[in-house]
Amino acid sequence: MSPIDPGLESIPHYWGDVARQLSVGAALMLVGAPWYANELLTQFPLIIIAAILSVGLAALVNPLMRWVSVFDAMMSCIIAIVYAPWAFYAYQDGEYLMFVLRMAVAIIFLFAFYFNTKTVRAMVLHQFNSRDIEVSEAEKRMVTDAEIMPGSDDLSTDNGNSSSLS
């Protein structure tokens, strides 16, 4: 069973859990930043923004919302494209620790891109759909409400528990 979401392992062609785990590898960007950011003042804010976006999208990945997987795939691709040449620039300058750390980030996000793309392809080709997924009625309502009202900030759902405080 999947350690992240035990109910999703049985869905064929769904690789969102693997992509999520790899995208959380964005923590490597933050941990290694002091060693590979040449100009920490200008590069670190961009690294933080990329890490937050990557982890945020990874937290939203699920088989019911295709757009999240699409954006996660795009984000993974962009990060891999930025970090790979940046690694080779460090290699040319003889900074081998920077090369290894940056290349590790690029490779992690390359694999995340691969698994996100596999998931999006399966969604587009209808190789799995919401009938294959066993989720609670409260989760289905939350996804349906989010698709109907994307700008809604209604957080009043309590996952089916209707208890009163009075």
Is there a contact between 55 and 79 (Cβ–Cβ < 8 Å)?
no
Which tokens hold the place of 41? 């003042």
Is there a contact between 61 and 69 (Cβ–Cβ < 8 Å)?
yes
In the numeric block, the tokens 């933080």 are attached to: 48
Give Dmax over CA atoms of the chain in angstroms: 68
Closest CA to 54 of 79, 82, 85: 79
Q: What are the boundaries of each domain within the chain?
A: 13-148
Give the 3-state secondary structure of residue 107: helix
Q: Render pLDDT for 104-118 as a digit per residue (tens, 0 to 9).
A: 999 999 999 998 898
Q: Is the model's pTM score more than 0.85?
A: no
Interacting residues of 81 by C-beta distance below 8 A, sequence separation 6+: none
Q: Render pLDDT for 32-89 as a digit per residue (tens, 0 to 9).
A: 777 766 777 778 888 888 888 888 888 888 877 888 889 999 999 999 999 999 899 9
Q: What is the mean pLDDT of the chain?
A: 75
